[in-house]
Amino acid sequence: MGRLPRAYLVFAAALGWSGCLLFTDPINKAPDVTITAPPASDPVVRDERVDYTATVTDDKDSQGSMLVDWAEFTSPNQPSCLWVTAALWASKATTSLAVDVPYPFKAQSLDIVCLCARATDHNGASGQACRRITPVNSTPVAQIVDVAGYVSGQMRPLCSPQVHLSAEYSTFPTGDELQSGEQLQFNWSLQYSGTDAAGKSVQLSTCAGIATGKSDQHRCFNAVGPGTETVNYTVTLSITDSVVSNGVTTKAISDPPASFVIPVNVDTPPCIQRTDPDVHAQRILLSRNADLGGSYQSRTFRVLNAADDCEAFPLPAGSTNLPTQFVWSVLNTQASPNWSYQTNTSDSFTVSQASFPNARPGDTIQVRVEARDTPVQKLYQAGGQVCSTDTVDICCGSVACSGSPNDCIRWTTWTVQFQP
C-alpha cells in the first residue's frame, strides 16, 4: 500500500482532534429589537411626552427576562441612525427598563434625535433599533381677550373708552421655551362694517403701559361710530411661530385665527341721574327770612350728574367731548301759563321770590331742567320733541317712567310754592 501524502495526514489529524465542533455547535444570535410609538405621536411635538415601546425577540432568552437600555443620540446632519455604534453606547448615559415598560420621550428642543433601544441576551450578544425623530413646535392657538372684561359680541356704548385687546391668553412658546432662531409674529387686523368714512380709517395701534417684549401681544383702538346705526368692529389675530433649524425654516400658524367682534350701539340720549333737590321731589317751599329783615329766601336747583354715551356730565377724565347741556325753563302758573326758557345752560339755576314781585303767599311756579346732548339739540332744531306733551312733570322720552332706578329721565320738574 502506498504512502499517503503528508498534507492529507495533517488534515485528517486536525479533523480528529477537533471532534468536528466547527460544524455541530449552535451559533448565538443577537436579539432582534423594534421600536413602536402611538399612531397619534407623529409628528412629535416639542415638550409633549410620547411613550415609545420596545419589542424584543431572541432565539434563547424570553422577552420578559431581558432589560432594554434606552439612549438619545443627537446628530442633526445625519439622514438616518446607522451611525449609532456600540462605541457610542459605551460613553452614553442610558436608562434601563423592563421590556414591558415604555420609555417616556420628551423633546426639549427641535434638534433631530435618534432614540435607540438595545437588548442584550445572557450570552452577551446585543441588538439595537433606533428611531429618527424630528420634533416640531406645537401649533399656536390664538385667543383674544378684552382687558376691560367685555366678551366678543357684547354691545358697548358709542364713544366708549379705548378698546384694549390682549393675546396673552393664547397658547404659544414663551420665555425659556423659545429656541435659538425662533420668532413669534402676532398678526392683527381690523375690519369695520359701518358706513362712516371716518370710522373706516380706524387703525389698531400699540397700547401704552405694556411690559417690554409684550407690546406685540396687545392692540388698542377707539371705536368711533356714526351714531346712526349699530357699528361692528371685527378684530382677527393669527400667530406664526417660525423656527430656523439646520438652515431650514419651519412655520406653525394658528388655524383658525381668533376673532373678536365689538358692536357699538347707536347714540343714546342723556339721562338725568342725581339732582338737588332730588329728581323726584314734588314741592319746594320758599319764604321770607325774618332774621334778615324780611329778605326773600332763594333756592338753587342743581344737576349733580347725567349719564350719556358721549357727552356725560361731569365728563370723565381725559374726554375731549362737550358735556351735556342743561336747559332750564319756568312756568308761572298764576299768569298766562307758558314755559319760559332761561338763558342759563349751566348745571344750576337759582330761584328767588324777589324774581316774582307779583307773587303772593301760596302762589306756585314750576321749574324744569332738561338734559340735551348734541343729537337731542339737533332734534329740537329740526322741530322734533322729546316727550309728546309739556304737561308731563318727569319725562322718560317715548316710554312712560316706571319709577325704577333704570329710568332714563330726560327732564324733571319741581313745583315751587311761595310762603309768607
The domain spans of the chain are 12-16+25-133, 145-264, 271-418
Average confidence score pLDDT of the chain:
86
CA distance 418 to 227: 45
CA distance 53 to 178: 29
Q: 206 to each of 191, 210, 257, 369, how far by Cα in Å?
A: 17, 9, 20, 43
Cell 326773600 -> residue = 296
Residue type, 11: F
**Which residues neighbour 286 within 8 Å (Cβ) at sequence distance 6 or greater?**
296, 297, 298, 299, 351, 352, 353, 416, 417, 418, 419
pLDDT at 214: 93
pLDDT at 71: 98
Stronger pLDDT, 390 or 25, i.e. the higher one: 390
pTM of the model: 0.68
Right CATH for 12-16+25-133 from 2.60.40.10, 3.20.20.100, 3.20.20.70, 2.40.10.10: 2.60.40.10
Phi and psi at residue 51, to the nearest 5°: -95, 115
pLDDT at 380: 92
Mean pLDDT score, 185-213: 84
Over residues 333-380, the pLDDT tens digits come to 776 788 999 998 999 999 988 888 787 888 899 999 999 999 999 999
Mean pLDDT score, 375-391: 92
Q: Is 372 exposed, middle or buried (0-12, 13-18, 19+ CB in 10 A)?
A: buried
CA distance 420 to 297: 11
Q: 84 to each of 11, 118, 309, how far by Cα in Å?
A: 43, 11, 72
Please report, rounded to a whole number, the percentage of residues in the chain having pLDDT higher than 90: 54
CA distance 176 to 173: 8
Query: pLDDT-derived band of residue 19, with 50, 70 and 90 as boundaries?
Result: very low
Element holding 51 (H helix, E strand): strand 50-57
pLDDT at 294: 57
CA distance 184 to 242: 6
> In the chain, helix, strand, coil percent, each to 5?
10, 40, 50
**Which residues neighbour 177 within 8 Å (Cβ) at sequence distance 6 or greater?**
47
Query: pLDDT-derived band of residue 388, with 50, 70 and 90 as boundaries?
Result: confident
pLDDT at 143: 98
Please report, rounded to a whole number, the percentage of residues in the chain having pLDDT higher than 70: 87
Query: pLDDT-derived band of residue 16, with 50, 70 and 90 as boundaries?
Result: very low
Over residues 75-111, the pLDDT tens digits come to 777 889 999 999 999 999 999 999 999 999 999 888 8
The answer on pLDDT for 6 being more than 80 is no
**Which residues neighbour 215 within 8 Å (Cβ) at sequence distance 6 or greater?**
206, 207
pLDDT at 69: 97
- E strands, 121-276, where? 126-133, 145-146, 163-166, 182-192, 218-221, 231-245, 248-253, 258-264, 271-276
Fold that domain 145-264 belongs to in CATH? Immunoglobulin-like (2.60.40)
Would you say the CATH fold of 145-264 matches that of 12-16+25-133? Answer: yes
pLDDT at 280: 93
Over residues 130-151, the pLDDT tens digits come to 999 988 888 999 999 999 999 9
